[in-house]
Amino acid sequence: MVAASSAILSSPRAGSSLAAARVRSAPAPSLVAPLPCLRVRSAVVSSSPAAAVAASEPVGRILDAGSDGVLWPKPAVLVAEKLSEAGLAVLRQFADVECAYGMTPAELLAKVAQFDALIVRSGTKVTREVLEASRGRLRVVGRAGVGIDNVDLQAATEAGCLVVNAPTANTVAAAEHGIALLASMARNVSQADAALKAGKWQRSKYVGVSLVGKTLAVMGFGKVGSEVARRAKGLGMLVIAHDPYAPADRARAIGAELVSFDEAIGRADFISLHMPLTQATSKVFNDDSFAKMKTGVRIINVARGGVIDEDALVRALDSGKVAQAALDVFIEEPPAKDSKLVLHENVTVTPHLGASTVEAQEGVAIEIAEAVVGALRGELAATAVNAPMVPAEVMSELAPYVSLAEKLGRLAVQLVAGESGGIKGVKVVYTSARDPDDLDTRLLRAMVTKGIVEPVSSTFVNLVNADYTAKQRGLRITEERVSHESPAAEAPLESIQVRLSHVQSKFAGAISDGAGDIVLEGRVKYGVPHLTVVGPYEVDVSLEGNLILCRQVDQPGMIGKVGNILGQRNVNVSFMSVGRTFRGKQAIMAIGVDEEPDKDTLENIGKIPAIEEFVFLQL
């Protein structure tokens, strides 16, 4: 990977210069740029409109990828609930791992700021408070399982904290547990077992009901629901299902009929719940829905306690409307010792054991450990819950453009004059030979946002929170794709243009002629981002190090004069490019410099008579 493209993705160590950090190579293109806390506030112009916002100290630890691809210092991972040894082994190869099982919420709050990643199961609530207590250090929450209703996704997104889960490894275990509850409930296994152990031989009391030929309604025809349906078919049951989002052909392939909610609950002898807990499904099984069911219906819940109104279920059990229930999950876990529901004689309970098989726990542990390690490295896990997924091959192709997009944003915001009253509209124009469907610009848009927002605020921006951050700050980002007639072009993009509309610039040369926008455009050349347009001027300067833009009257000797001043002060010029409108009229000089010139040096450049204006910009 080229040095320039790794710049936005690996992070400088504390105290190192940005330029020094830029040449470090990252092991692989990072999708969430960067999960390590990249803070560049110290390197920005102080006269930017919102610079005053950027007052607080950086938070989070600086992590950097060495040439071996291992992050330094090692990230710290807190495992808050029992995770199988196989997953811990994956984590330990990469991170310092602390297992602190059974913490109280207060203990978690006190500890969380020392960790880059937190791994939980269903027993830990990752609230807004937890994310705030991490003070920006927590970059990944890994949920070793499916349900993420215990994680405040909105708060995580706002904090730029990626949430990943392990959605597939416990599917079969949960389905098997559903079937186990179905069969044991129908045959009163747990009640008869308890009675016999208490010395009671009660054969007539525990006569059960048969499954064969009965109708099972599977509510939520996703991974677990469809596996339950498949198994129930094998038991000779008639399976109907309700799921507003499930494809009918998948249901047909298993031999299940997709029907409406009312029809499903109205026709069923057994109802098995497999939908996630969301606002829409919360207490969807309530007095009204129980009233629509057949008298003597039996209910199994291996999904989430919250989809049932538990008080209503007790009433339905007492009245005989619901003959039996088998429950693995509860609104409050563990439920109160005197819970009427748990103690009800027609209810079979297990303590949230759906995913608890040796095999499933090993599977989820490995799945989540790999996702967390990948995310800490800056890759976007395929199981990201609160970020768009960008396939690895797309990312590696876009990597230099990702860098270009951020740098254009970063330069553009530094050109805004203090009295502009804030940036309102940002337009990003992509010129590409690709079909629009083949060009995923979410990452590029996120990086333009990062470039614009980070230099002038204390906000850490990545792919997770870029759109949210833009919205919060009233930044309206629009995108336009311009097709470039070059069918043979292999590059995904020809150029990226960033326009800030209706702002004043501290460098009038950056304002385009027509619309009065600040306009910057760039291209990737040999894998390196270049600035190619400033306002109406064409330039060509590699976007490395810092940049001086000067506008002057086009005349001989200007390059020498500026070069001399910089040379005398030991400031190394890396690139220089001059663009002009017409001979003898105005021109601009774009000068790449490795070091930051001191104030006097810049003032001396400004004193050259033909120079009309100049600006120093940091990348």
Ligand X SMILES: O=C(O)C(=O)COP(=O)(O)O
Interface residues toward ligand NAI, by CB under 6 A: 146-147, 167, 170-171, 174, 219-225, 242-246, 274-277, 280-281, 302-304, 328-329, 352, 354-355
In angstroms, give the least distance from the CB of 227 to ligand NAI.
8
By C-beta, is 168 or 478 nearer to ligand X?
Answer: 168
Strands 71-72 and 270-273: unpaired
By C-beta, is 90 or 228 nearer to ligand NAI?
Answer: 228
Among 111, 67, 71, residue whose Cα is nearest residue 93: 71
In the complex, residue closest to ligand NAI by CB: 222
Q: Is 171 in the site for ligand X (CB under 6 A)?
A: no
For the chain, give the number of residues. Answer: 619
* CA distance readout (Å), 47 to 51, 222, 353, 420, 517: 7, 54, 58, 12, 19
In angstroms, give the least distance from the CB of 381 to ligand X.
16
Q: In the structure encoding, which two tokens stand for residue 173, read together?
A: 């275990």
Q: Is 146 in the site for ligand X (CB under 6 A)?
A: yes
From the list ligand X, ligand NAI, none, partner contacted by residue 275 (C-beta under 5 to 8 A by kind): ligand NAI
From the list ligand NAI, ligand X, none, partner contacted by residue 592 (C-beta under 5 to 8 A by kind): none
Q: Is 396 in the site for ligand X (CB under 6 A)?
A: no
Cβ contact 214:269 at 8 Å: yes
By C-beta, is 218 or 398 nearer to ligand NAI?
Answer: 218
In angstroms, give the least distance from the CB of 284 to ligand X.
18
- Give every CB contact of residue 123 below 8 A, 6+ residues apart in sequence: 81, 150, 333
Among the options 298, 304, 445, 580, which is catalytic? 304
- The kind and range of the H/E element at 447 are helix 442-453
By C-beta, is 32 or 80 nearer to ligand X?
Answer: 80
How many Å apart are CA 273 and CA 304, to the nearest integer? 8
What does the H/E/C string look like for 219-269?
Answer: ECCCHHHHHHHHHHHHCCCEEEEECCCCCHHHHHHHCCEECCHHHHHHHCC
Q: Binding ligand X by CB under 6 A: which of 170, 449, 459, 495?
A: 170
Q: How many C-beta atoms surround the C-beta of residue 476 within 10 A?
A: 13
From the list ligand NAI, ligand X, none, partner contacted by residue 548 (C-beta under 5 to 8 A by kind): none
In angstroms, give the least distance from the CB of 42 to ligand NAI.
44
By C-beta, is 120 or 146 nearer to ligand NAI?
Answer: 146
Alpha-carbon Rg for the chain, nearest whole angstrom, is 30
By C-beta, is 161 or 180 nearer to ligand NAI?
Answer: 180
Size of the site for ligand X (CB under 6 A): 12
The span from the first CA to the last CA of the chain, in angstroms, equals 19
From the list ligand NAI, ligand X, none, partner contacted by residue 121 (C-beta under 5 to 8 A by kind): ligand X
In angstroms, give the least distance from the CB of 244 to ligand NAI.
6
The distance of Cα 413 from the centroid of its chain, to the nearest Å, equals 25
Q: Is 305 in the site for ligand X (CB under 6 A)?
A: no
Q: In the structure encoding, which two tokens stand for residue 16, read together?
A: 């190192």
Q: Binding ligand X by CB under 6 A: which of 27, 75, 147, 222?
A: 147
DSSP string, 469-538: HHHHTT-EEEEEEEE-S-TT--SS-SEEEEEEET--BSSGGGB-TTT--EEEEEEEETTEEEEEEETTEE
Among 170, 91, 146, 143, residue whose Cα is nearest residue 358: 170
In angstroms, give the least distance from the CB of 264 to ligand NAI.
9
In angstroms, give the least distance from the CB of 250 to ligand X.
21
* CA distance readout (Å), 390 to 32, 382, 393: 10, 8, 8
Residue 521, phi then psi, degrees to nearest 5: -135, 150
Among 394, 366, 365, 364, residue whose Cα is nearest residue 379: 394
Question: To 10 degrees, the CA torsion angle through 153, 159, 164, 165?
Answer: -30
By C-beta, is 246 or 547 nearer to ligand NAI?
Answer: 246
Among the options 98, 333, 359, 603, which is catalytic? 333
333 is catalytic: yes
* CA distance readout (Å), 116 to 97, 111, 419: 10, 11, 39
Type of residue at 93: Q
**Which residue stretch of 141-149, 192-200, 231-239, 316-324 sits at the interface with ligand X (rule: CB under 6 A)?**
141-149
- Give every CB contact of residue 490 below 8 A, 6+ residues apart in sequence: none
**Which residue stretch of 143-151, 210-218, 454-462, 548-556 sits at the interface with ligand X (rule: CB under 6 A)?**
143-151
How many Å apart are CA 169 and CA 146, to the nearest integer? 9
By C-beta, is 194 or 280 nearer to ligand X?
Answer: 280
In angstroms, give the least distance from the CB of 372 to ligand X.
15
By C-beta, is 144 or 251 nearer to ligand X?
Answer: 144
**Which residue stretch of 25-33, 119-127, 500-508, 513-521 sits at the interface with ligand X (rule: CB under 6 A)?**
119-127
Q: Is 39 in the site for ligand X (CB under 6 A)?
A: no
**Which residue stretch of 121-129, 385-393, 434-442, 526-534 sits at the interface with ligand X (rule: CB under 6 A)?**
121-129
How many Å apart are CA 447 and CA 406, to the nearest integer? 5
**Binding letters toward ligand X, positions 349-378, x by CB under 6 A:** ---x-xxx----------------------
In angstroms, give the least distance from the CB of 169 to ligand NAI.
10
Hey, which residues does 415 pair with through a beta bridge? none
530 is catalytic: no
Binding site for ligand X (CB under 6 A): 121-123, 144-147, 170, 352, 354-356
Q: Supply the residues annotated as catalytic.
A: 304, 333, 352
